[in-house]
Structure 1
Amino acid sequence: MRVVLFFLALLSGGSSLALTTYPVSITHSAGSTIVRTKPVRVVALGPHALDLLLSLGIQPVGYGEASTYIKTPAFGSPIRDIRVLGSRVTSNPVNVGDRFNPSLEILASLKPDLIVGEDYAAQVYPQLSRLAPTLLFKGIDRNDWQKTLPLLAKAVDREVTYAQVLKSYTANVQSTRSVLAPRFKNQTVLVVWTSGGESKYTFNVSKRSDWTGGLLSDLGLNVIDGEKADAVLSIEGLVALNPDVVLVLAAGNSTPTRARADWNSTALTSRLQATQKGQVYFLDYHLFRRIRGPIAAQLIERQLIKEMAPN
């Protein structure tokens, strides 16, 4: 009967049909958590958790993030500027502090009935769990969110919405792949990031098994794999690899504009065939590596089409 109701909801386009029977037990990276009633007041710890919640139509009452990514002066204040995802947030969530070590006092004042974060916050999981049911998910590797989003959807009674999200994601990947795969057929693609400044000529390499490399591979790009996770590469190393295409992600205090200027400030980069072909693209690390969910994927796909296949 549950399956029949599920597909009737899909056919009708509805997303309000209750499918979760509470209490429900959710297994996640930090353990197993019982969610006793449907969550209403949810806190997101980090952009990955925020992407997942927003994709399910859940607006958070609190948000935790590194201070460099939000412009809120103090913990406990409403956040009015969240990078990339801000236009989709309508709840004015309260700043609960660092996503890995948030303020327990502020969290308690929000009276959440669910806290969602990443496994990086595992060290404070016992404290978080005493305040509210807490789910910590792994999200840095290829397709991690596809494994965890259905668990979160079950916890918040949005399983029908999850099915719609997955259907839309699959369609967008196929559409973007149909444009990019022929455009860059038989060409090697290297994805790196740099913080600029003193390390502007040092790059970290994205692997096919991580979020960024995995998504680009799914989009039909032949991503060059690093020897290990976050492998470090010098400009000389770039020249030795000599890829057809390079995606440079500006991290830290850098920006795509600064990364472009740094790239062009040395003659070595001009030797790469990617530079000679005009196939070096400067993009935002925050979008391409930190958010890692279905909304981020859609935004990345749009930007790749705009930058790499403008016609």
Structure 2
Amino acid sequence: MPVKKTLMIIFTSLKMNRKRQLFLLAIITMLMITACVSRGTQHPVSQPQYVTRQCQIVEQVMGPTQICGQPQKIVALAPNTLEILLALNVQPVGYADYIPLHQGDYDHPSRQIPYLGERITGEIVNVGIANSPSVEALLKIQPDLIIGTENNKSQYEMLSKIAPTLLFPRFKAQDNLQKIAKLLGRSEQAEKILADNQQRLTAAQKAFSPIVKTHPQVLMLVSLGQSISEQLRFPRRDSFCDSLVTSLGFKLVSPQSLVPSNKSIPPPLSIEILPKFNSADAIILLGGNFSNLQPSHHNYFASQMKKLKQQWQENAIAQSLKASQEGRVYFLPVYLCLGLPGPIGTELYLNELQNQLLSPPGK
């Protein structure tokens, strides 16, 4: 039965006069029209949107780990981790170096982070020392991914409570690059980086081949103290410092008994032992004293290398060696090869070796 006719019957039963019935009917009709219009323009209630987050299994030092979604706020623990992210054009939100080269956040990265700072486009948070990062700083950032090295094993449980955490070997740069690139959807970019690196290495091998033929024996040492007579050591066997030099064709002069294994701390050497290695055609001395550094835009370790070179020139035992007398002793910061074993470090290390070893002796 039509609504209007039904209402008329009701009003008639209530014994209202005709005028009052029509007036009341008009009011009710208007109210019904308004309600209908209101319902017609009402915005529908949004339903929960269930977005499927793509998950990946990443092989890392602590075992297979599931990472879901696309990480946006990434913290890099150690320069070799930062190096990979920057090579892939990924900007981190936080960073921890191996050594306290800077206090406070990185508000001017180009002057505060050696070698890599110029590739950072904005301010990032300083989360402390790579091997013992600041929990407070990490909680403040609230990252969705933390990438560290095998040195962070003891903090892994704590770090994983803050954000998904991946730890990688320090010197397996190619494998680390490919895994991180796959996680971030940049595998094609990683393959191009590796191809460019191989091309760069091949060109360097060709450039060094004349020197390798005439002066193949290289003595590589690390000086960790204030002077060359303090904490003189051989580099670790698995380090990028010596592996790149041998890949160029050089042969390292060092007895197996004195070269540390992959996991052990290099034993100290006495400078008096150096004459036993006088067969070396060249010496590469890696400076590792990080006190009293003077940051600069161009070379963070320039003053340190200058001091180390001066000490070598003033030491009678060092000057008695054949390599010294022929002007084939070269000084490089150990940070370059220990901290940056990846694609950026490879280019920088090769450039430094070429600038020094391919120059006339004594220059």
| TM surpasses 0.5 | yes
Find the aligned partners of 1:104 and 1:194 in 2 and give their Cα distance.
33
Q: Is 1:265 paired with 2:294?
A: no
Q: Percent identity over the alignment?
A: 29
The residue aligned with 1:29 is: 61
Find the aligned partners of 1:164 and 1:48 in 2 and give their Cα distance.
19
Deviates more, 1:84-93 or 1:227-236: 227-236
The residue aligned with 2:218 is: 189
Q: CA deviation at 1:31?
A: 2.2
The residue aligned with 1:65 is: 97
8 A contact 1:45–1:63 mirrored in 2: yes
Match of 2:185 among 157, 167, 180: 157
Match of 1:47 among 74, 79, 95: 79
Q: Kindly provide the amino acid, as one letter, of the partner of residue 171 in structure 1.
A: Q
- Where do residues 192-271 of structure 1 align in structure 2 (5 Å cutoff)? 192-197=221-226, 200-227=229-256, 228-229=259-260, 230-242=266-278, 243-253=280-290, 255-271=304-320
Q: Is 1:85 paired with 2:148?
A: no
Q: CA deviation at 1:32?
A: 2.2
Find the aligned partners of 1:55 and 1:145 in 2 and give their Cα distance.
12
Residue aligned with 2:70, SS:
coil
Find the aligned partners of 2:141 and 2:148 in 1 and give their Cα distance.
16
Residue aligned with 1:53, SS:
helix
- CA separation of 1:105/1:208 partners in 2, compared to 1, >3 Å: closer, same or farther? closer
The residue aligned with 1:101 is: 132
The residue aligned with 1:169 is: 197
8 A contact 1:208–1:217 mirrored in 2: no
Find the aligned partners of 2:287 and 2:98 in 1 and give their Cα distance.
17
Q: CA deviation at 1:40?
A: 1.3
- TM-score, length basis structure 1: 0.86
Residue aligned with 1:173, SS:
helix
CA-based RMSD of the aligned residues comes to: 1.9
Residue aligned with 1:197, SS:
coil
Q: CA deviation at 1:78?
A: 4.0
8 A contact 1:202–1:235 mirrored in 2: no
Deviates more, 1:228-237 or 1:291-300: 228-237
- CA separation of 1:89/1:226 partners in 2, compared to 1, >3 Å: closer, same or farther? farther
Q: CA deviation at 1:202?
A: 4.3
Find the aligned partners of 1:201 and 1:108 in 2 and give their Cα distance.
40
Q: Kindly provide the amino acid, as one letter, of the partner of residue 53 in structure 1.
A: L
Q: Kindly provide the amino acid, as one letter, of the partner of residue 289 in structure 1.
A: L
Q: CA deviation at 1:191?
A: 1.2
Q: Is 1:289 paired with 2:360?
A: no
Q: Output one character per residue of 1:282-309: Cα deviation in whole Å (capped at 9) or x when no partner.
A: 1111112222211001001011111111
Q: Is 1:112 paired with 2:143?
A: yes
Residue aligned with 1:305, SS:
helix
Q: CA deviation at 1:187?
A: 2.1
Residue aligned with 1:64, SS:
strand
Find the aligned partners of 1:221 and 1:208 in 2 and give their Cα distance.
15
- TM-score, length basis structure 2: 0.74
Q: Kindly provide the amino acid, as one letter, of the partner of residue 49 in structure 1.
A: T
Residue aligned with 2:249, SS:
coil
What is the count of residue pairs matched by the alignment? 285
Find the aligned partners of 1:265 and 1:210 in 2 and give their Cα distance.
29
Residue aligned with 1:258, SS:
helix
Find the aligned partners of 2:253 and 2:267 in 1 and give their Cα distance.
12
Q: CA deviation at 1:224?
A: 2.5
Find the aligned partners of 1:204 and 1:260 in 2 and give their Cα distance.
17
Find the aligned partners of 1:128 and 1:181 in 2 and give their Cα distance.
46
Q: Output one character per residue of 1:142-168: Cα deviation in whole Å (capped at 9) or x when no partner.
A: xx1112211111111111111011001
Unmatched segments (≥5 aa) in structure 1: 1-20
8 A contact 2:74–2:143 mirrored in 1: yes
8 A contact 1:42–1:116 mirrored in 2: yes
8 A contact 2:227–2:311 mirrored in 1: no
Q: CA deviation at 1:198?
A: 5.5
Find the aligned partners of 1:207 and 1:306 in 2 and give their Cα distance.
24
Find the aligned partners of 1:61 and 1:52 in 2 and give their Cα distance.
14
Find the aligned partners of 1:198 and 1:67 in 2 and give their Cα distance.
19
